[in-house]
A = this chain, B = another copy of it.
Amino acid sequence: MTLEEMGRRAKAAAGELNITGVTEKNRGLEAVAEALVRERTWLLRENEKDMEAGRAAGMKSGLLDRLQLTDARIESMAEGLRQIAGLEDPVGEVISMKKRPNGLLIGKKRVPLGVIGIIYESRPNVTADAFGLCFKTGNAVILKGGSDAICSNMAITKVIRDALEAEGLNPDSVQLLEDTSRETTNRMMKLNQYIDVLIPRGGAGLIQAVVNNSTIPVIETGTGNCHIYVDETADLDMAVNIIMNAKTQRVGVCNACESLVIHQAVMEKLMEKLAERLREKHVEIRGDEAVCKAVSDAVLATEEDWGKEYLDYMISAKTVSSVDEAISHINRYNTGHSEAIITESYTNAQKFLDEVDAAAVYVNASTRFTDGFEFGFGAEIGISTQKLHARGPMGLEALTTVKYIIYGNGQIRS
């Protein structure tokens, strides 16, 4: 099937989904969840083909682990779909409706985006997850997964399509690009006629490639060089507690803390408490000269360290002489994700919230909370670090747009 034909089918499916009620959509999600569990033996067999190819190609164990399906992972995919079925459907809500002086009644209604393209990497569970989020919000989706996971993704997609069809729902609500070549992917990124929005899900390289090549609007999810600023007035025990959580609770995630900014008045006292705790967790400190003087085993930071998302057991540490210097350092090096201040000063807290340019700005809490579930959205498509359409954790609403509906009785413009 050509890409254009897939686009036409997706658009037709989107038209049907647009007028499918939430009860039918939830029935579809439940049926797919059930089918994934029922077909697990076959799914595992298809996944094993990808695993074998991966092993033969010398794929690293971390990547092989991401690629692998297990009974538990299939159950967890199914459970994810059931949870999505349980969420409120944002589609159809009329957000506002006002009468104009000429009698026109103008309403603003939440509607599906239409056709969403999702480009992702090795984890096959994204196939079910992306389908679920798009389907719940009445969008058709064209998926392009990694070539490493092609057998798994084809199998999961087939199970989803068959289950939808058995429920009398349009299977073209989800389609998978079977040709995962770069050339076809690039053509997909220019299919403006059929695809309304592209969402890349994966590492920084993938996201950058989509941003650079797509002519379709992109919802960009991004990297997090997250800072914690320890103010002069901070409760240092709270600061240590929050830093340890934000740095070490999970190091490979975008809302983990990568950089400390510390007021010079409390730097030595903080480090007395913090350095040992970091050492216990084998976290290397890359500090400026003052920090290196205070912490014997700290390594001198280079300019590059200030802008780096380590995703590893490392943290940079910079000393500043004021909250203003802290804010300006953060606004220079951050990636617009999550930033925190630890302070007891009302003025500095409000100033930090006002002036730091990021999706989520915290006072006295861990940056690790930037997450759709923690924010109470019930689902997460990703965390947007750009400013258009959605910023920060994106729930189901990020997969909708609005439409103006206008009731008249013969009005013409004069």
A residues with CB within 8 A of B: 15, 18-19, 98, 100, 104, 106, 113-114, 192, 196-197, 211-212, 215, 217-220, 235, 238, 241-242, 244-246, 249, 331, 353-355, 357-366, 368-370, 374-376, 386-389, 391-392, 401-413
Contacts and interface: CB of A to CB of B under 8 A. Distances in A.
B363 A331 contact: no
A104 B393 CA distance: 16
Nearest to A327: B15
Contacts of A15: 331, 355, 357
Given A355-B15, A388-B197, A412 B361 contact: no
**Complex copy number for this chain:** 2
Contact of A361 (B238, B362, B366, B406): B406
A303 to B, nearest CB: 16
B369 A113 contact: no
A403 to B, nearest CB: 7
B355 A404 contact: no
Contacts of A100: 374-376
Contacts of A401: 387-388, 391
Task: Pick the 8 closest A-B CB pairs, nearest first.
Answer: A365-B408, A245-B412, A368-B413, A387-B401, A389-B389, A360-B404, A365-B411, A217-B388
Contacts of A106: 375-376
A211 B218 contact: no
Contact of A104 (B18, B219, B365): B365
A195 B408 CA distance: 40
Nearest to A342: B410
Contact of A403 (B249, B358, B363): B358
A376 B108 CA distance: 13
Contacts of A249: 412-413
B413 A366 contact: yes
A220 B354 CA distance: 29
B404 A359 contact: yes
A217 to B, nearest CB: 4
A104 B369 contact: yes
Given A18-B355, A331-B15, A406-B369, A241 B197 contact: no
Nearest to A208: B215
B217 A386 contact: yes
A67 to B, nearest CB: 27
Contacts of A406: 360-363, 365, 369
Interface centre among A15, A354, A364, A405 (most CB of B within 10 A): A405
Nearest to A375: B106
A112 to B, nearest CB: 9
Interface centre among A212, A219, A386 (most CB of B within 10 A): A386
Contact of A242 (B217, B354, B364, B410): B410
B410 A364 contact: yes
Contacts of A18: 354-355, 357
A18 B341 CA distance: 19
A92 B246 CA distance: 28
Contact of A354 (B19, B235, B386, B387): B19
A26 B411 CA distance: 35
A264 B120 CA distance: 48
A368 B211 CA distance: 35
13 contacts: A15-B331, A100-B374, A217-B217, A217-B218, A217-B386, A242-B412, A245-B412, A360-B406, A363-B407, A363-B408, A368-B413, A369-B406, A392-B403
